[in-house]
């Protein structure tokens, strides 16, 4: 697949879109988040005692779980609206939230973290090589990088990150790039990371009983989860 924007995308449009989405992000019955909740924590595994950086933390869906599981979490996002939601939640005081644009170098020293983690952010980033190079730089030797993303099959079906503004009823698409799985994997390899696993996941009937919007996606790949390691 190409890395052409499905909808012309720039950082300002994405940030402004998520500032608006923040108020309803946790409550709009998003099937991709539900599928990610099932598979991504399994890929992450035990984080107790680990220094973790989460890139594109949003409203802290994973951040608070990681902190509650005993990780020292630094959580990065550029949307003040999403960060405000995250900071307002019980347990948020256990994480260190940093406002930063991921299209720029991360404000962390080399090898600062045992785990670099990111969920459902890749579609908003034009430069996958730059993103994974920064992941490789800030993870310690022997540390892991775990990244989930919307599966490109969703783009072929006309789906991309979007929400309905509850005030205006407007359908808002912050802006996405339809990166293929190959582009994601090759960016990991070019960053010098060792690929350990790539999982592709579909919602099933059980998920659809919990999240109605998953029904039309049963059997279609919705989620990619990449696991890599920085070997010395
Ligand atoms: C779909 S949300 C995912 C949030 C959270 N990781 C989750 O799984 O619920 C994408 C997040 O990435 C953030 N994001 C997108 N592009 C970014 C960039 N260039 N720099 C920092 N954050 C970015 C957005 O603000 C938003 O919070």
Please list, in sequence order, all residues whose beta carbon lies within 8 angstroms of the beta carbon of residue 107, skipping any fewer than 6 positions away. Answer: 98, 100
What is the CB < 6 Å shell around ligand 1? 11, 14, 18, 33, 56-58, 61-62, 77-79, 82, 101-103, 119-121, 124-125, 161
Averaged pLDDT for residues 75-104: 97
Percent above pLDDT 90 for the chain: 78
- pLDDT above 80: residue 6: no
Give the residue, out of 10, 19, 78, with the most ligand 1 atoms within 8 A of its beta carbon, to mutate for a pocket test. 78
Nearest to 77 by CA among 106, 56, 102: 56
At residue 197, the 3 state secondary structure works out as strand
- pLDDT above 70: residue 4: no
For residue 1, name the pLDDT band (cuts at 50, 70, 90): very low
Whole-number pLDDT of residue 165: 83
């Amino acid at each position: 697949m190409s890395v052409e924007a499905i909808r012309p995308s720039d950082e300002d449009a994405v940030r402004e879109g998520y500032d608006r989405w923040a108020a309803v992000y946790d409550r709009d019955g998003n099937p991709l988040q539900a599928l990610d909740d099932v598979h991504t924590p399994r890929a992450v595994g035990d984080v107790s005692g680990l220094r973790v950086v989460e890139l594109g933390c949003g409203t802290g869906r994973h951040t608070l779980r990681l902190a509650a599981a005993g990780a020292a979490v630094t959580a990065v996002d550029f949307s003040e609206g999403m960060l405000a939601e995250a900071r307002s939640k019980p347990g948020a005081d256990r994480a260190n939230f940093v406002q930063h644009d991921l299209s720029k170098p991360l404000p962390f020293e080399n090898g600062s973290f045992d785990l670099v983690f990111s969920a459902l952010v890749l579609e908003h980033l034009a430069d996958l090589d730059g993103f994974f190079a920064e992941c490789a730089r800030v993870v310690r030797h022997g540390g892991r990088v775990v990244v989930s993303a919307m599966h490109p099959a969703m783009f072929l079906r006309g789906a991309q990150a979007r929400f309905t503004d509850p005030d205006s009823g407007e359908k808002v698409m912050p802006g996405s790039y339809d990166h293929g799985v190959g582009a994601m994997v090759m960016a990991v390899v070019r960053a010098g990371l060792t690929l350990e696993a790539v999982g592709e996941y579909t919602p099933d009937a059980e998920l659809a009983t919990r999240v109605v919007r998953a029904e039309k996606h049963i059997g279609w790949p919705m989620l990619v989860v990449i696991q890599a390691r920085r070997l010395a």
